[in-house]
Amino acid sequence: MYKILLLLLPIFAFSKTLKVGKSEIYKTINQAVAAALSGDSILVEKGIYSENILIEKPLFLIGNNRPVIDAKNKGENIIIKADRVTVKGFKLINSGRDEVLSIAAIHIYNSSYSVIEDNILENNHFGVYTQRGYRCLIQNNKITTNRGTSQENIGDGIHNLGCEEMWIKNNFISGHKDGIYLEKTKKSYIYRNLSRNNLRYGLHFMFANDCVYSGNVFDNNSAGIAVMYALNIGMSHNKFLNNWGDSVYGLLLKDISYSKIKNNIFDNNTNAIFADGATKIDFYNNTFENNGWAMKVNANCMENRVTGNNFINNVFDVSTSGTMVMNDFKRNYWDKYEGYDLDKNKVGDVPFHPLSMYSVLTEQNPSVMLLFRTFFVDLLDRTEKIIPSLTPESFVDNEPMMKAVKN
């Protein structure tokens, strides 16, 4: 019976700790990895280790006092080809550069339940690149680079390809092409990350279904955030800030459906939301403030509900490329609303038409923007309110709120 119980014990019950450092038995991390058995821990003391490390067994690789792994611009700092690998407490710098091979500071292949935590990644091509990962955790890392002079010569901070149930939490990403990129990834959770000053998108979804991103801040990214060709995406309690410039969006929605966008803040973006081919999306309890366009909704967007949002101090609250309206606007607060509430039920008694004549003309001829803040524009909009002619009559909020909605 005793022998049977021993056989049933998990292998990590007998794991040991191998130490790496100048005064330890193992002088390099690769030596310790080669000597370790599955489930062992490798404790790396402070120092600079110029190595390219390959891990092909379950291990705990732990840094003490932030040791540095320097790839010296050749290859990848750490390659993981096993399940249940933890990398924690390191500074990883100077990976090689190869766009075809997707060279990264940490490259993960076909791994389940691995953890990348509390690391500093600096001056690498890609930061953490995961291919076919399952239930891996990437959290509390600082991922920055100054290599990128254009989108073409730098990789993403965190890149997931063909993954499932990934958790990406509390990371800081800056200077990469996309801060976080997910392709063909499903059922993953992006939570409380700060993605700032990236060369393209702060967050980029492609063919990624059933994912949630919540509590993140996307600030001053060159093209904002993009969610493309996706189903059932939850987007809540995020902040989209200072994404400003030509063809820049707080949030780009391209061919996305059956999703919810709620309790987000869009502040100081060229286009807070640009929707193209978005269908059956619920936009509710969001605040749009100080944007060029709060919402640009193309004519191919249908069956979307825009409810309980605040539109404050935007140049244009809503703009569209078509004349037919197949979306529902209801009970939003519009700071441009000039109606009244005689029955004191906090809902305006007069419908509000958020689509101004000036926004229609600007959509048709962008050079009309030169007339912004002129008497001519005020005259156009006031005339349109009295005698509607160009703006779709059905583009209306029949129950506008008298005060801003608490989100």
Q: Tokens 């509000």 map to which residue?
A: 352
pLDDT classification of 7: cutoffs 50, 70, 90: very low
Phi, psi of 33 (to 5 degrees): -60, -40
Mean pLDDT, residues 257-285: 96
The pLDDT tens digits of the residues spanning 371-382 come to: 555 555 566 666
Residue 385 pLDDT grade (very low, low, confident, very high; cuts 50, 70, 90) = low
User: Distance between CA 202 and CA 192 in Å, rounded?
Assistant: 13
Tokens of 27: 């002088």
Three-state secondary-structure class, residue 376: helix
Between 97 and 117, name the one with better pLDDT. Answer: 117
The rounded distance, in Å, linking the Cα atoms of 225 and 372 is 27
Neighbours of 56 (CB within 10 A): 13
Question: Does 361 score more than 60 pLDDT?
Answer: no
State the fold for domain 18-222. Pectate Lyase C-like (2.160.20)
CB of 251 closer than 8 Å to CB of 278:
no
Over range 151-167, report the average pLDDT.
Answer: 94
Question: Are the C-beta atoms of 103 and 79 separated by less than 8 Å?
Answer: no
Structure tokens at 174: 């800056």
Q: What is the mean pLDDT of residues 277-305?
A: 94
CB 187 within 8 A of CB 211: yes
CA distances, 208 to each of 245, 250, 316 (Å): 27, 19, 31
CA angle 72, 75, 79 (to 5 degrees): 115
Q: What is the mean pLDDT of residues 22-39?
A: 96
287-289 and 234-236 beta bridge pairing: unpaired
Report, as an integer, the average pLDDT of 89-103. Answer: 92
Q: Round to whole Å and give the CA distance between 395 and 320.
A: 10
163: pLDDT strictly greater than 70: yes
The predicted structure's pLDDT at residue 8 = 38
Q: What is the pLDDT of residues 312-360, one digit of tens each?
A: 999 889 988 766 668 899 999 999 998 898 988 999 999 988 876 555 5
Q: Beta-carbon neighbour count of residue 161 at 10 Å?
A: 16
Please list, in sequence order, all residues whose beta carbon lies within 8 angstroms of the beta carbon of residue 46, skipping any fewer than 6 positions away.
21, 64, 65, 66, 67
Surface-to-core class of residue 406, CB atoms within 10 Å of its CB (0-12 exposed, 13-18 middle, 19+ buried): exposed
Phi first, then psi: what are they for 286, rounded to 5°?
-100, 155
Handedness of CA 246, 123, 179, 242 (dihedral sign): negative
pLDDT over 70 for what percent of the chain? 86
User: Using CA atoms, how far apart are residues 15 and 179, in angstroms rounded to an integer?
Assistant: 37
Taking only Cα atoms into account, the Rg of the chain, rounded to an integer number of angstroms, comes to 26
Contact 182, 208 (CB under 8 A): yes
Is residue 33 within a helix (H) or strand (E), and if so which, with residue range? helix 29-35
What would the two tokens of residue 150 be?
């254009």
**pLDDT band, very low/low/confident/very high, at 145 (cuts 50, 70, 90):** very high
User: Residue 35: what pLDDT?
Assistant: 97
**Global confidence as pTM:** 0.89
**140, amino acid identity:** N
Who's near 285: CB < 8 A, 6+ residues apart? 262, 263, 308, 309, 405, 407
> What is the spatial distance between Cα 402 and Cα 377, in angstroms, rounded to a whole number?
25
Query: Measured between alpha carbons, how far is 260 from 309 in angstroms, rounded to an integer?
Result: 13
Q: Domain extents for the chain?
A: 18-222, 224-355+392-407
* 8 Å CB contact between 239 and 264: yes
